Structure 1
Amino acid sequence: MKKRILSGIGMVILVVVCVCVFLLSKAGSTYYYSQIDNSKMEQGKSGGGVVNFSGSLDYSYTLFSYNEKGKGKDITFGASRELKEGAFIRFTVMPIRGVLEWEEVQYDELPAAVQEQYTTPK
């Protein structure tokens, strides 16, 4: 009887550890790409994304974004500053956690299906 209880507890601990590792890793994440449009920004409203050193997000953006195949959806993320108008951005997104991180990228770094959605910068 004691072996069954210990075995059950061991299985529960194993499942919890596996779930935690999955949630903390980037496994299952997808890249999305967008272009900064500051008219879609709200100041002083918290959104998803990386928190700045003071622990707050001063700007919230909701941008229509495309995955590597060109399928689009709205993505909301937070930033500690106003971002450069017209810059291209790549998000790392997980289904449950939302935006894990974002970074500015160049037009030629966008997948072909995403480049088709935007005009070539001069």
Structure 2
Amino acid sequence: MKKVFLGIGALFILFVAGLVVLMTVDFNRLNKDTYYVHITADGEVEEYKADSGQIYQTYWYELPAFNKNGEEKTFKFSAQKNLRQDAYLKLYVKKETEVTSYDEVKFHELPAKVQDQMK
């Protein structure tokens, strides 16, 4: 009987640990390449209507971005809001072209080679 309770306890602990990992790890950023981009213009607006009649907007950007070595690549990505002018973003990229997520960063947080490219 003691072994059954230990087994159930171990499974419960594994289940809780799994839930904690799923809640705290952002898989859109995990093991992705990072590039940095400077927002210089408003995004191109795309509107679509949901079945409920509500209108949604997506803002599309196509901008040059730089990796930590200063190598340039152009990416097309979307946002649910119009991004702030003169903002610097850290893009998370998979499969060399698909932007999965982004974070706003400050200029001094950019790698030195990226700062040189964006001046």
Q: TM-score range by the shorter chain?
A: 0.5 to 0.7
Q: Which residue of 2 aligns with 1:115?
A: 115
- Report the equivalent of 1:44: 46
Matches within 5 A, 1:51-66: 58-66=58-66
Partner of 1:7: none
Letter in 1 for 2:41: N
| Distance in 1 (alpha carbons) for counterparts of 2:61 and 2:34 | 17
Residues in 1 aligned to 2:34 and 2:66: alpha-carbon distance in whole angstroms? 8
> Which 4+ runs in 1 deviate beyond 2 A?
24-27
Which structure has more strand as a fraction of its residues?
Answer: 2
- The one-letter amino acid paired with 1:43 is V
What amino acid maps onto 1:33 in structure 2? Y
Pair 96,38 (structure 1): closer, same or farther in 2 beyond 3 Å: same
Aligned pairs, number: 86
Q: Which amino acid aligns with 2:33?
A: T
TM-score, structure 2 as length reference: 0.63
- The percent identity for this pair of structures is 29
Amino acid in structure 1 at the alignment position of 2:72: G
Normalising by structure 1, report the TM-score: 0.62
Q: Which runs of 5+ in 1 are unaligned?
A: 1-23, 47-53
Q: Which ranges of structure 2 fall in alignment gaps of 5 or more residues?
A: 1-26, 49-53
CA-atom RMSD in angstroms? 2.4
Instruction: Decide whether the 8 Å contact of 1:45 with 1:60 is kept in 2.
Output: no
Alpha-carbon distance between aligned partners in 1 of 2:47 and 2:94, rounded to the nearest angstrom: 22
